[in-house]
Structures are given as C-alpha cells and as structure tokens.
C-alpha cells in the first residue's frame, strides 16, 4: 500500500477526468500509459470516486462502442477494467466465435491463466488502435482471478468470446496491446474487414494474406 502522500495524485487525476461530466477521452496507441504495467488497486480511489469512475468507464465503453475498456485507455494507470458484450451478431458468428452475451462486469486486479492448451484465432480490434483489426490467436479458455468493484473475490473460467475479451483487457493492464500478440500480416483496416473478412472465421484471410492459424 502506498503512503497517503503518493496516493493523492491518482485520485486527483480521476476527479479531474470526471469533472467534465461527460465521456472519458480514449487514449490511442503511442501514449506511454498504454505501455506500462498498472498499479494494483488497493484503495487509491475512495469508494464513491471508484463508483463514479467505473460508471464513466461504462458509459465511455458503450458510446465507443466497445465490449471492454481498461483504465489505462482513459489515461489512468490502475489495474481496473470493465467488460460488457450484448453480442448482437448473426447466429453463425455467435456459434463459431462463441460470442455469447457477457453481462457488465468490473474486473479489479485481474490476472488470467490458460485452461488447457487450445488456442483460437479471430480478428479483433481495440479502441486505442482505431480503424484497424488483426487476427490474434488466444487461449480458448482461461481462468480469471481478481476481485469485483466491491472487493469480492473473482475466480471464474471464461470460454468463447468472453475469454478473448478478458485476455485483451487484462493484457492492457500489463502494458500489452493486442498487436503485440497479433499475426501482423493479418492487419486490416475496418473497411477491408467489412468488405473481405467478415466471415465468422479467418481461414480465407489467412490464405489470402499469408499468415498462420493455430
Ligand atoms: Zn484494447
């Protein structure tokens, strides 16, 4: 636990961010805050401030729109992320990608480990890398441990698309962007993905662009 004198600046920064009352500005790739490990949350924000910050993160994620948002993406180096995915996709996509609805969750101090050895690869994007998507092979199933926003222990196995979301967001908290894990030859603009690679799985993209799938 940091001494009180070191704790004030983070809380002040969050107060400043929330002072506008609007959506939080999303930080884009190239900003160091996205490349540094975050501080574990241990009370740096008082409960009322934490609740307001989480609400603003949720509103910002909805507006983006996105299915996850990590605190460093709004310039706050704390080990906190939010996730939520209504999964508005066709049934075929839902089946192949395992994209089932994920209710709103707050992940505090999360970490994950793979369950089994299976990996699955799909296009994904990031609010901090706007305009682009790339194929990332990730663990098909992970065990996520941490806490929720009330400090209750979280220990849960995630599969399908929610497993991808929690890996992507937890990686942010370690200063890792999805591009670090991506097949770079798959890198595509959103326009190219919509025009060419909207299939539920990336086999055709792998063939045409020349990258490996697990
Ligand atoms: Zn991201």
Q: What is the pLDDT of residues 34-71, one digit of tens each?
A: 999 999 999 999 999 999 999 999 999 999 999 999 99
Cα 3 to middle of ligand 1, angstroms: 31
Residue ranges for the known binding site for Fe cation are 126, 168, 172
Please state whether 125 falls in left (phi above 0), alpha (psi between -120 and 50) or beta: beta
Tell me which residue of 60, 58, 78 sits closest to 172, measured CA to CA. 78
Find the largest Cα–Cα distance for the chain: 56
Query: Where along the chain do its domains lie?
Result: 4-209
pLDDT digits (tens, 9 = 90+) for 86-98: 999 999 999 999 9
Cα 176 to middle of ligand 1, angstroms: 9
- Under CATH, domain 4-209 is a member of which superfamily? Peptide deformylase (3.90.45.10)
Reply yes or no on whether the pLDDT at 3 is more than 60.
no
Tell me which residue of 159, 165, 157 sits closest to 98, measured CA to CA. 159
E strands present in 61-149: 68-70, 80-85, 102-114, 119-125, 132-139, 141-147
* Residue 169 annotated among the catalytic residues of the structure: yes
pLDDT at 141: 98
């Amino acid at each position: 636990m940091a001494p009180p004198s070191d704790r004030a600046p983070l809380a002040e920064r969050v107060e400043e961010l929330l002072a506008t009352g609007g959506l939080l500005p999303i930080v884009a790739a190239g900003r160091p805050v996205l490349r540094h490990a975050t501080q574990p949350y241990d009370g740096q924000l008082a409960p009322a401030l934490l609740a307001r910050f989480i609400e603003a993160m949720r509103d910002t994620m909805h507006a983006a729109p996105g299915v996850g948002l990590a605190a460093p993406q709004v310039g706050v180096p704390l080990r906190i992320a939010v996730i939520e995915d209504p999964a508005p996709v066709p049934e075929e996509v839902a089946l192949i990608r395992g994209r089932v609805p994920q209710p709103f969750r707050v992940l505090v101090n999360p970490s994950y480990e793979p369950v089994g050895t299976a990996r699955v690869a799909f296009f994904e994007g990031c609010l901090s890398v706007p305009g682009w998507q790339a194929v990332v092979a990730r663990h098909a199933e992970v065990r996520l441990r941490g806490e929720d926003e009330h400090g209750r222990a979280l220990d849960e196995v995630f599969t399908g698309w929610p497993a991808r979301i929690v890996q992507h967001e937890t990686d942010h908290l370690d200063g890792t962007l999805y591009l670090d894990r991506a097949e770079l030859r798959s890198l595509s603009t959103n326009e190219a993905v919509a025009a060419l690679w909207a299939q539920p799985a990336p086999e055709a993209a792998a063939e045409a662009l020349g990258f490996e799938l697990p």
